[in-house]
Amino acid sequence: MNGFLPVTREEMNMLGWEQPDFVYVSGDAYVDHSSFGMAIITRVLESRGFKVAVIAQPDWKNEESIAVFGAPRLGFLVSAGNMDSMVNHYTVNKKRRSADAYSPGGHAGRRPDYATIVYCNLIKRKFKNVPVIIGGIEASLRRLAHYDYWQDKLKRSILLDSGADILLYGMGELAAVSVAEALEAGLDVKDIIYVPGTVVKMRDISAVKDGVLLPSFEELENDRKKYAESFRIQYANTDSVTAKPLIEQYGNNRYVVANPPSRPLTMQEMDDIYGLPYRNAWHPSYEQEGGVPAIAEVKFSLTSCRGCFGGCSFCALAFHQGRVVQVRSHESLLAEAEAMTKDPDFKGYIHDVGGPTANFRRTACEKQKTAGVCTHRQCLFPKPCRNLVADHSDYLALLRKLRALPGVKKVFIRSGIRFDYVLADKSETFLRELCRYHISGQLRVAPEHVSDRVLTLMGKPEASVYREFVRRFDKVNRGLKKDQYLVPYLISSHPGSTLEDAIALAESVRDMGYMPEQVQDFYPTPSTVSTVMYYTGFNPLTMEKVYTAVSPHEKAMQRALIQYKKPENYELVKEALLRCRREDLIGYDHAKCLIPPRKPANNKTEDRTNERKTGKNSGSSRKNGKNTAGSKKRTGSSKARR
């Protein structure tokens, strides 16, 4: 055998198995690396003595593709993969993506839309009485009623639409082992109803202790504000210490019950999980197609932490991994790094040492260890909490040890840092060492916007905090005599952002002196605070009304403004400026204006001629622009949600 789990009946027979205990069905190709959820769950179960086989990317049009191993003894485990299948398939403009990094050769089309549902329905038709357990990011973030951007409607819990018996949410290791051991002990799957980190179906909820009854699905369908209120309750119940069971009713006597989350993993448990015998490669069967591209970014990276107390509204981490940071020991990370250096493909560069937020290597405060996270307060927003412990000393010690390893030339930090957390640290040692050792010319950061009102809705610090970080970053690099730059991530058309806000962001880009490549049009993915704003028009954390651009045309204008220099964006930028009566930004003064009065000609001779135009002619263009603006309404998109 090649060290991988069996993917064919022949491989299973070679192991001497008559029947697997579990069959794991995944929308991703089989990559046995700890950055892939499938690899972690299967190896964890294997470490507990269970026989696990893998069916990766089955042909959902062929029932027999799910029957490679026959019926498993205990159950099927189903995941859409490392990404929600709809995000994997479609851009924010709902256009089909041409590639899939989680499929062999990067080829798209190897999994269905709504993969979890399709796979489960396939299994239930073929094996009616075999338990089906779903997990992964798609199931986790669709565990209760949720807004689906691609169908533009509220959908039921994926547990109902898939027909699965149990849903595991969050990272899933503890819940997967508990459910597996309960099945092994002979419990009927319908009786496994109290495991933390699971969602189950019930007809009778009288046995649910201290449960919180959410608005029914029928209420949510009829009143978007009710959905915002329901999500607010869910968001306040994402911590294992304080959360209560959440009950969502469907019809007269059908309920979906979300048990409280699994507890955070201890350092020893994290070490044990990441120390399992992963092959750190794609399955050999993919060699002819060129392998699986997704491993390239993570093969020589180290996962040092999980969880995030950053609290960004557009991020689902609080809902999925939780706000309590969990870390691996230095010894565990050093052992993995040393193994990397022996890989023939290793060139001396560790690509990343991080996680959701690279510079979080401890809980936000001591209180979280016993009392859990605050249910109605954030650790960093709007200002760092007075109980926050901003301390990079452990992370610095780890990075120094990694830098000293024989065979390691450089250790990069690429998974992103929280610059407000860096500023909260009274010592500048981390910032100095970051600039000296761990970036190569550029550092990616995420200010996201310049409007304080929009930043508040994003759960991000005000713009002045980013400006202060820029000042300190530049000062440190001058002291080091290094020519290094910040690469800001920006989001367009986030809920709350108007065209005026987008223009202010464009002016900020102009003042930076270069065009950012990293621009993301807001993507409403399931179960984020921002997505709830987009769908309901309310901020679920405050219940205040929020303006949201939902018209594709207005969204296109907001995105184009950030990259206003691109020739293909000219007409959209011009329309936005005229609509907002900002003709002052149309002209030849590059220090002030965003675009010239007309498209620059492709012919260089004509372009030079245009530059010699008289002031009278230029003024005529601006005048025409004013007339155009005057004929347009200033209300923005007629489809905007308020």
Segment 52-69, tens digit of pLDDT: 999 999 999 999 999 999
pLDDT in tens, 563-588: 999 999 999 999 999 999 999 999 99
pTM above 0.75, yes or no: yes
Helix (H, G, I), strand (E, B) or coil at 176: helix
Compute the mean pLDDT over every residue in the chain, rounded to the nearest whole number: 92
| Model pLDDT for residues 332-386, shown as the tens digit of each residue | 999 999 999 999 999 999 999 999 999 999 999 999 999 999 988 899 999 999 9
What distance in Å separates the CA atoms of residue 325 and residue 342, rounded to the nearest whole number?
30
Q: Is the pLDDT of residue 621 over 60?
A: no
**Do the strands 22-26 and 75-79 form a parallel or antiparallel pair, or are they unpaired?**
parallel
Question: Maximum distance among all alpha carbons in the chain?
Answer: 88
Residues 339 and 554: their CA atoms lie apart, in Å, by: 50
Compute CA 125 distance to the chain's CA centroid, rounded to the nearest angstrom. 32
Element (H, E) at 485: strand 485-492
Which amino acid is located at 220 in the chain? Answer: L
DSSP state of 639: T
Query: Measured between alpha carbons, how far is 250 from 392 in angstroms, rounded to an integer?
Result: 47
Q: Do domains 9-201 and 300-440 have the same CATH topology?
A: no
Tell me the average pLDDT across 206-229.
97
Residue pLDDT, tens place only, 12-29: 999 999 999 999 999 999
Cβ atoms of 420 and 463 within 8 Å: the answer is no
β-partners of residue 99 are: 107
Q: Which CATH number fits domain 300-440: 3.10.620.30, 3.40.720.10, 3.30.750.210, 3.40.50.720?
A: 3.30.750.210
Tell me how far apart the alpha carbons of residues 498 and 484 are, in angstroms, rounded to a whole number.
33
What are the pLDDT digits (tens) for 299-323? Answer: 999 999 999 999 999 999 989 999 9
Q: Cα(235)–Cα(460) distance, rounded to whole angstroms?
A: 17
Q: How far apart are CA 396 and CA 413, in angstroms?
A: 12
The DSSP line for 311-355 is: --TT--HHHHT-SS-EE--HHHHHHHHHHHHTSTT--SEE-EEES
Q: Do residues 311 and 379 touch, judged by C-beta distance below 8 A?
A: yes
Classify the C-alpha dihedral 614-618-621-627 as positive or negative: negative
> Which residue did the predictor score with more confidence, 488 or 89?
89
516 vs 273: which has the higher pLDDT: 273
CB 345 within 8 A of CB 296: no
Which two structure tokens, joined as six digits, stand for 546?
């929020």
Residue with token string 């969050």: 170
Nearest to 584, CA basis, from 497, 515, 491, 507: 507
Asked if 326 and 394 count as a contact pair (C-beta separation under 8 A), the reply is: no
- Structural domain spans, the chain: 9-201, 300-440
- C-alpha radius of gyration, the chain, whole number: 26
CA proximity to 230, closest of 527, 547, 533, 540: 540
Sheet strands side by side (includes 442-448): 442-448, 485-492, 519-521
Q: What is the DSSP letter of 122?
A: H
Distance CA 172, CA 53 (A): 18
Q: Residue 264: its pLDDT value, please?
A: 96
Lowest mean pLDDT: which of 394-403, 597-606, 626-635?
Answer: 626-635
Question: Is the peptide bond preceding residue 382 cis, with omega within 30 degrees of 0?
Answer: yes
CA 15 to CA 9: how far, in whole Å? 10
Residue partners of 159: CB distance under 8 A and separation at least 6: 134, 139, 143, 166, 167, 199, 200, 201, 256
> What count of Cα atoms within 13 Å lies in the side-chain half-sphere of residue 236?
14
Percent pLDDT > 70 in the chain is 93
3-state secondary structure of 494: coil
Look at residue 130 and tell me whether its pLDDT is greater than 80: yes
**Residue 395, SS3?**
helix
Structure confidence by residue, pLDDT tens digits, 427-477:
999 999 999 999 988 998 999 999 999 999 999 999 999 999 999 999 999
Q: H or E segment at 412?
A: none
* CA gap 59, 252 in Å, rounded: 37
* Cα–Cα distance for residue pair 484/124, rounded to 1 Å: 56
Specify the amino acid at residue 334. Answer: L
In this structure, the strands spanning 153-155 and 146-148 are antiparallel
pLDDT of residue 245 exceeding 50, the answer is yes
Class of the 9-201 domain? alpha beta
Q: Are 419 and 465 in contact (CB under 8 A)?
A: yes
Cα 286 versus chain centre, distance: 27
CB 604 within 8 A of CB 613: no
Q: Which helix (H) or strand (E) holds 306?
A: strand 305-306
Q: From CA 542, how far away is CA 534, in angstroms rounded?
A: 15
